Amino acid sequence: MQTQIGVGILSLPYELHLKAKQDGWISLVIGAAILTIVLFVLWGIAKQFPEKDFFQINDVIFTKWPGRAISLFYVLYFMAVSVLIVLLFTRLISLWVLPNTPFWILAFLLIFVCLYLANAGLLIIARFYTMVSFLLLLLIVLTIYSLQEIHLMYLLPVGESGLGKIMSGVPEAMMSFLGFFVSLVFFSKVEGKSKDKLKIMLAAHLFVLVYYLFTVAVTYMFFSTEELRLVPEPLLYMLKSFELPIVARVDLFFVSIWVVSVATSFTTYIYMAGLGVKHIFNKKSSPIIHFILCLLIFVGATLIGYDMGKMNRFGEIIVGIGLGATVAFPFLMFPIVWLVKRMKGKGAGQA
């Protein structure tokens, strides 16, 4: 769940708005609805192999070598997402908090802390996530504070920008939900009945949707359509304008807490990539793998650095791959899983 509310939250409203104007929140809902179906498909796949994680499933249904190739592709994808997270994180920090700090220090800090967490294993990661999810509540409270200055007017007229435009915002919206793929990878690692797990998955999904919807709606109502075109991180700008009696800049605190959720999503991706590598190369010790992965991510991220143009292109590529890998692929996978399962079942029956 933490992974989902990752980096995207701050700039999401802006990107949505570029595509769909004030009806961006409709795109968000549509995107979430599509993803719910995907989630069911993922659940359907994972249910067939209750003891196996995602990479082992690949092995079974695509036979050994093609399966490994696909796993490798996913590992690369996870790593690419990690790089993207590092890039977005450092850019935002350098824009908002520390304009003079060199890139590698921030990247190193983030990677170092997350490496420490990832090495602790899934159980500890899960414990840690539940603990820090309380911080999300704090983020919400900070956002709620801004409710006093919103204008419902800005949301009107509903549906003005037309269906086509709304639909074109959907991929952007789905992008921000990309963390849902975690549920497939970790499905077997979590104890409990598959039905309960589905419930948890859906609940997490719903929570994320509500949370996104809330922030998007609040920012839309805070800034007029014209203003929103100019501010790339509307949530922060909105908070910046407030002044609590004790502290003047709420946005700085918001960013500080936001760092935590970035760190959690980054850790998840490292861990997933590490899991994949472990499986592909049949290795046992994860600390070394995680270390190598982090080194690669660090190098990859430093190559791009603060360069905005490169970063945007990189981001677009990742989004494209991400949509393919996490939305389209499961639909492809599902019938194959079903077929393989049936054939296996028949074979077992005959024998």
In residues, how long is the chain?
Answer: 351
Residue 256 touches other proteins, criterion: CB under 8 A? yes
By CB under 8 A, the residues from 68 to 97 that bind other proteins are 93, 97
H or E stretch including 201? Answer: helix 194-222
Find the shortest distance in angstroms from Cβ 127 to other proteins: 4
Find the shortest distance in angstroms from Cβ 178 to other proteins: 23
List the end-to-end C-alpha distance of the chain, in Å, as a whole number: 43
User: In terms of Cα–Cα distance, which of 337, 350, 349 is closest to 49?
Assistant: 337
* Three-state SS at 224: coil
Q: Please state, as a whole number, how many other Cβ atoms lie within 10 Å of the Cβ of residue 114.
A: 27
* Cα–Cα dist 300/80, whole Å: 9
User: Of 34, 72, 76, 113, which one interacts with other proteins (CB under 8 A)?
Assistant: 113
State the number of binding residues for other proteins (CB under 8 A): 33
Residue 152 touches other proteins, criterion: CB under 8 A? no
DSSP 231-264: -SSHHHHHHHT---SS-S-HHHHHHHHHHHHHHH
**Options 165-173, 239-247, 327-335, 342-350: segment touching other proteins (CB under 8 A):** 239-247
* Cα–Cα dist 163/169, whole Å: 10
Residue 122 touches other proteins, criterion: CB under 8 A? no
Find the shortest distance in angstroms from Cβ 295 to other proteins: 19
Residue 317 touches other proteins, criterion: CB under 8 A? no
User: Of 149, 160, 196, 243, which one interacts with other proteins (CB under 8 A)?
Assistant: 243
- Pick 38 or 255: Cβ nearer other proteins: 255
* Cα–Cα dist 27/129, whole Å: 29
* HSE-up of residue 123 (Cα within 13 Å, Cβ side): 1
- Pick 118 or 327: Cβ nearer other proteins: 118
* Three-state SS at 70: helix
User: φ and ψ at 120, to 5 degrees?
Assistant: -75, -15
- Pick 250 or 280: Cβ nearer other proteins: 250
User: Tokens at residue 220, please?
Assistant: 């839309």
- Pick 93 or 280: Cβ nearer other proteins: 93
User: Of 51, 65, 131, 349, which one interacts with other proteins (CB under 8 A)?
Assistant: 131
User: Of 137, 141, 246, 348, which one interacts with other proteins (CB under 8 A)?
Assistant: 246
Residue 203 touches other proteins, criterion: CB under 8 A? no
Residue 257, classified by CB atoms within 10 Å of its CB into exposed (0-12), middle (13-18) or buried (19+), is: middle
Find the shortest distance in angstroms from Cβ 255 to other proteins: 8
- Pick 37 or 244: Cβ nearer other proteins: 244
- Pick 98 or 206: Cβ nearer other proteins: 98
User: Tokens at residue 236, please?
Assistant: 């922060």
Residue 238 touches other proteins, criterion: CB under 8 A? no
Residue 153 touches other proteins, criterion: CB under 8 A? no
Find the shortest distance in angstroms from Cβ 253 to other proteins: 8
Q: Please state, as a whole number, how many other Cβ atoms lie within 10 Å of the Cβ of residue 345.
A: 10
User: Of 28, 45, 88, 259, which one interacts with other proteins (CB under 8 A)?
Assistant: 259
**Options 74-82, 166-174, 257-265, 289-297: segment touching other proteins (CB under 8 A):** 257-265
* Cα–Cα dist 218/36, whole Å: 24
User: In terms of Cα–Cα distance, which of 267, 258, 12 is closest to 138?
Assistant: 258
Residues of this chain that bind other proteins (CB under 8 A) = 93, 97-98, 101, 105-106, 109-110, 113, 116-117, 120, 124, 126-128, 130-132, 243, 245-249, 252-253, 255-257, 259-260, 263
